[in-house]
Amino acid sequence: MARLERGWVLWRIRRWAAGCSPGTVVLGAAGGIGQPLSLLLKTNPAITELALFDIVNTPGVAADLSHIATPAKVVGRLPPNDGLKETLTGAEVVVIPAGVPRKPGLRDDLFKINAGIVKDLATGIATVAPKAFVLVISNPVNSTVPIVAEVFKKHGVYDPKRIFGVTTLDVVRASTFVAEIIGKPGSAPDVVVPVIGGHSGVTSSHPLPDSIAKDTFDALVKRIQFGGDEVVKAKDGAGSATLSMAYAGFEFANKVIRAIKGEKGIVAPSFVALKADPAGAEALTKELGAELEFFSSNVELGPEGVVKIHPLGKITQGETELVKAAVPELLTNIKTGTTYVLEKYEEEKNPKL
């Protein structure tokens, strides 16, 4: 083990022995998702350090949360005076809900603004906390995760096991809607419906119970794939899903934290680099019949990140078609993210281009 790596592992062991939890950071903490997500993280007694960063309002959000009598010490920082650097120092789990939400229309519209925000934040993480687990919520997830990966590659600190696209809201929705259909509303946490593919429209496909009739199945698939539209429409120009996303982000972050602390057998769908588990990737690639750099499948989590990427396994004909439909769009989304960063780096090298 290299010296730096050994030092980092020892530092982590010492911190946990002293009762500290993995240092948890929210970037974009003053936003519609960021605030309720930070609140939920503050209620988790396993979290002892919670650092919040945004371009506005984080001192207020942190002061507010700090009055809640749970162990987490909360700090809120803004960009001046190296606020991002200070926030990220010692970070082990970084959740990113920073960025612009969708107005009625297409999710990909967000790309230009959010790509720049995510690239800058990823640069901060790669520089200050290169070993952190990065949980990307900012949309479009299928492109922002490749952006983070490219930035980490550029800084020579890329570890595909530690970068996650948060697709948990699809899982939360799928479980809720299926529980309703099978006549068990309220039992959603027990109804496990993994989401595979990616996050958005046809890129997310969902293995569903065989017992669901074809027409119900089709309507259900559409509702899960385009669940975000339902909320955007109802909010009528006031943004997209925030509260359910905060719940979903909290659920996924907790799984990551439990895995970091050594709990075994934690599995959750997430949009990850297939390089994180070459053996799993080989099986998945065969099933997909296409080479994708990133894909959302069930992922087993461990103290160093991705342990195993699960194959799709036995899926029905209908589900196979959904996966097939997801692949071309995923390829495009991934390329969009990667190309964005590579072009930006080219521009930085040759400012006249």
Among 29, 22, 63, residue whose Cα is nearest residue 253: 22
Marked catalytic residue, from 67, 155, 199, 206: 199
Q: Which is nearer to ligand NAI, 42 or 311 (CB)?
A: 42
CB of 61 to ligand NAI, least distance (A): 9
Residue 232 binding: pick among ligand OAA, ligand NAI, none (C-beta 5-8 Å cut-off by kind):
ligand OAA
Paired tokens of 46: 């396993």
Q: Which is nearer to ligand NAI, 247 or 345 (CB)?
A: 247
Among 119, 101, 91, 86, residue whose Cα is nearest residue 31: 101
Alpha helices in 236-300, H assignment, sequence order: 243-260, 278-288
Please, is 303 exposed, middle or buried when counting C-beta atoms within 10 Å of its C-beta (0-12, 13-18, 19+)?
A: middle
Residue of this chain nearest to ligand NAI (CB atom)? 31
Q: Which is nearer to ligand OAA, 227 or 280 (CB)?
A: 227
Per CB under 6 A, the list member of 22, 23, 25, 31 interacting with ligand NAI is 31
Q: Which of residues 164-183 bind ligand OAA (CB under 6 A)?
A: 169
Q: Which of residues 227-256 bind ligand OAA (CB under 6 A)?
A: 227-228, 231-232, 240-241
Q: How far is CA 311 from CA 120, 308, 324, in A?
A: 33, 9, 15
183 is annotated as contributing to ligand binding: no
Distance CA 144, CA 122 (A): 10
Residue 27 binding: pick among ligand OAA, ligand NAI, none (C-beta 5-8 Å cut-off by kind):
ligand NAI
Indicate the length of the chain as a whole number.
353
Segment interacting with ligand NAI, rule: CB under 6 A, options 138-146, 184-192, 274-282, 344-352: 138-146
DSSP collapsed to 3 states, 52-96:
EECCCCHHHHHHHHHCCCCCCEEEEECCCCCHHHHHHCCCCEEEE
Cα 149–150–151 angle (5° rounding)? 90
Q: Is 137 an interacting residue with respect to ligand NAI (CB under 6 A)?
A: yes
CB of 70 to ligand NAI, least distance (A): 23
Beta-carbon neighbour count of residue 48 at 10 Å?
18
Per CB under 6 A, the list member of 242, 254, 336, 338 interacting with ligand NAI is 242
199 is catalytic: yes
In one-letter notation, the amino acid at residue 31 is G
Segment interacting with ligand NAI, rule: CB under 6 A, options 148-156, 237-245, 326-334, 338-346: 237-245
Annotated binding site for substrate: 102, 107, 139, 173
Instruction: Write out the residues near ligand OAA by the rule CB under 6 A.
Output: 102, 107, 139, 169, 227-228, 231-232, 240-241
